[in-house]
Amino acid sequence: MNPIRYIRRSLSLKVLSICAIILILTLSVTFYFLQSHQRELLLKQVDSQAKILFKQIVLTRRWVADHGGIFVEKLPWVKKNVYLKNSEIVDITGKRYIKENPAYVTRQLAEYSKREGLYWFHITSLKLVNPANAPDKFEKTALKMFDNGEANEVSTIETIDGVRYYRYIAPLYTEASCIPCHQGYALGSIRGAISITIPVEHLFKKMSTLNREMIGAGVVISSLLLLILLYSIRAMAIVPIVRLRKMISGYRDVNIEKMTASEDEIGDLYRAFFRMKTELKEYHTSLHKKIKEATLELQRTNEKLLEANRLYRELSQRKSDFISNISHELRTPLTSIKGAVEYLKTKLSSGFISKENLDIDELKGFIDIIMSNTERLTKMVNYSLDLEKIESGRLDINIDKLDLTYLINDTINSFRPIFEERSIKVQTELEQPIMAYADEDRIRQVLGNLLSNVAEHCPAGTEVKIEGYNSGDWVVVRVTDNGPGIPASMQSKVFDKFFKGPRGGTGLGLAICKSIIEAHNGEIGLFSQGRGSTFYFKIPRVKP
């Protein structure tokens, strides 16, 4: 079997693989931080050791300088210091002594320490007196940094002949005891530096050994943890799941009581399975009953289809009623126009109307009747077309930002001649600004219908109040008149098609207004108590 496919099918190996990945990542991160911290501690320890050695050397040099140099017995291999005057003396016994200054003492101590292999140091300067003190590349770079004030000390790990060393260098400052031998230096100036070199190869090897031991320990611990985890998963999850599978498959040797006695999640799973088994049994028992219920539901669905058919016929009837109503409404103005025209025609044919006996007022009256009914007829046709578009879903609504304050004032101005003719005073209370999301032409149509009703039904010499304001997420427009009012029993019907009520009219204007406002996701309604009515509508507001 393919190992990868087997791992995908084995739950225990899936969990074990995920745990192994998490464990490896955790140990890797921990090992990385431990190694970094270990290296940091090692370098800090070596750096501290180098600084202590530097201070010890400086103190030794200061002691020698404070005593004006020291005389030591001249051994056969010791050479005379040619850079010092009167550097050799002889005592009364004939024993020779040579004088050594701080630099010479420092160099000899460095040679001793280097032979021991523990560490060594080197005194150096950019202004050499003794060529033996010439700086190497590391020392020369550090001396330049000291002279430029870029650093007070410099350290690095350097590999020499395949061996790693820790190198540390710090400046030497001119003291009072140094002036006699070092002419030209100011007190406190940098006259050179001392570099200290400490072998650290053995420390890095020890750290590598320690890292290998840590990795080995991590592998052993991880293996033990994964084995324990594998055993636990198999004992507590895989084996119970295998038993459950056998029980589902109908094995007779499964101890059901032992399986359901467990209080953990596996026991919950067993109990849930038994509940499911019981429910399935109950379901099969009640299947016949459910089939009967389904049959009854099918009968009810058939009844609903019959009801839908009835509603379709009713809708067809309503359409016929609509055609009948519109025909009746069209017949009335057409009859008036026809009667007025036939009357005038009869008068003209009989010669009753002539230039000598022409009655202008009577003629104007008949013309007014014709014009009024023609306008009514045109309005009814337009209303019918709009209503047909609305009911068929073909009404175009172009939503955009709309300055409702301007639109209200503009619509009022278009009705101003009618209001002035009937001495109707218009009072407005409009917030500034009122911005809405709406179709300008359709909202103008709504306002026109409402103001047309006011102009038609409001008594002459009264006052009409028009309000507009923002209210939360909406803008509200209210039109209040002093007309005859609308009884409470009729208020719920005024927006129905062909409902005329006490005010008369075509019965279509308010129905169209309602459809337009609802197409804007708005609301339209009215308040009327006794005399006077307030029609209002609200549409979505443009927030600043």
So where are the chain's domains?
Answer: 67-100, 290-376, 396-540
Higher-pLDDT residue of 217 and 68 is 217
What pLDDT, in 10s, does the model give residues 200-252? 888 888 888 888 888 888 888 888 888 888 777 777 767 777 766 666 665 55
Please state the rounded mean pLDDT for residues 86-94.
Answer: 72
Which architecture characterizes domain 396-540 according to CATH?
2-Layer Sandwich (3.30)
What pLDDT, in 10s, does the model give residues 183-210? 555 566 777 888 888 888 888 888 888 8
Would you call 213 exposed, middle or buried from its count of C-beta atoms within 10 A (0-12, 13-18, 19+)? exposed
3 state SS of 157: strand
Please state the rounded mean pLDDT for residues 449-453.
Answer: 87
Would you call 303 exposed, middle or buried from its count of C-beta atoms within 10 A (0-12, 13-18, 19+)? exposed
Would you call 254 exposed, middle or buried from its count of C-beta atoms within 10 A (0-12, 13-18, 19+)? middle
Q: Percent of the chain at pLDDT above 70? A: 69
Distance, CA of 238 to CA of 15 (rounded, Å): 11
Task: Report the range of poorest mean pLDDT among 10-19, 51-60, 63-72, 323-332.
Answer: 323-332
Q: Which two tokens stand for residue 464?
A: 């009409």
Nearest to 64 by CA among 40, 84, 41: 84
Question: If pLDDT is split at 50, 70 and 90, which confidence band does 7 have?
Answer: very low
The DSSP secondary-structure symbol of 131 reads G
Higher-pLDDT residue of 222 and 492 is 222
CATH fold for domain 290-376: Helix Hairpins (1.10.287)
Nearest to 437 by CA among 472, 411, 386, 475: 475
List strand residue ranges (DSSP E) for 381-491, in order.
400-403, 425-430, 435-438, 463-471, 474-481
Distance, CA of 49 to CA of 28 (rounded, Å): 31
β-strand 425-430 against 435-438: which pairing, if any?
unpaired
Distance, CA of 155 to CA of 157 (rounded, Å): 7
Write down the pLDDT at residue 247.
65
Inform me whether the pLDDT recorded for 3 exceeds 60: no
Distance, CA of 435 to CA of 470 (rounded, Å): 9
Question: If pLDDT is split at 50, 70 and 90, which confidence band does 298 have?
Answer: confident
Angle, helices 287-350 vs 265-285, to 10°: value is: 70
Inform me whether the pLDDT recorded for 108 exceeds 60: yes
Q: How far is CA 318 from each of CA 312, 390, 491, rounded to the nearest angstrom?
A: 10, 16, 22
Write down the pLDDT at residue 257.
55
What is the DSSP annotation of 24-68? HHHHHHHHHHHHHHHHHHHHHHHHHHHHHHHHHHHHHHHHHHHTT
Q: How far apart are the first and last CA of the chain?
A: 69
Q: Which residues pair with 536 in a beta bridge?
A: 478, 525
What pLDDT, in 10s, does the model give residues 320-366? 555 555 555 555 566 666 666 666 666 666 655 555 555 666 666 66
- Confirm if 163 and 201 have CB atoms less than 8 A apart: yes
Inform me whether the pLDDT recorded for 6 exceeds 50: no
Inform me whether the pLDDT recorded for 101 exceeds 50: yes
Nearest to 166 by CA among 179, 155, 151: 155
Question: If pLDDT is split at 50, 70 and 90, which confidence band does 168 have?
Answer: very high
Element (H, E) at 521: none
Mean pLDDT score of the chain: 77
- Residue environment code for 430-454, b if the CB has 16+ CB neighbours within 10 A, otherwise e: beeebbbbbbbebbbbbbebbbebb
Distance, CA of 155 to CA of 138 (rounded, Å): 9
Q: Percent of the chain at pLDDT above 90? A: 11
Write down the pLDDT at residue 405.
92
β-strand 425-430 against 463-471: which pairing, if any?
parallel
Please state the rounded mean pLDDT for residues 414-420.
Answer: 88
Higher-pLDDT residue of 458 and 2 is 458
Q: Which residues pair with 474 in a beta bridge?
A: 471, 540
Give the type of residue at 449.
N
Inform me whether the pLDDT recorded for 18 exceeds 90: no
- Confirm if 245 and 273 have CB atoms less than 8 A apart: no
Please state the rounded mean pLDDT for residues 110-130.
Answer: 77
- Residue environment code for 359-368, b if the CB has 16+ CB neighbours within 10 A, otherwise e: eeeeeeebee
| Angle CA 339–342–344, to nearest 5 | 110
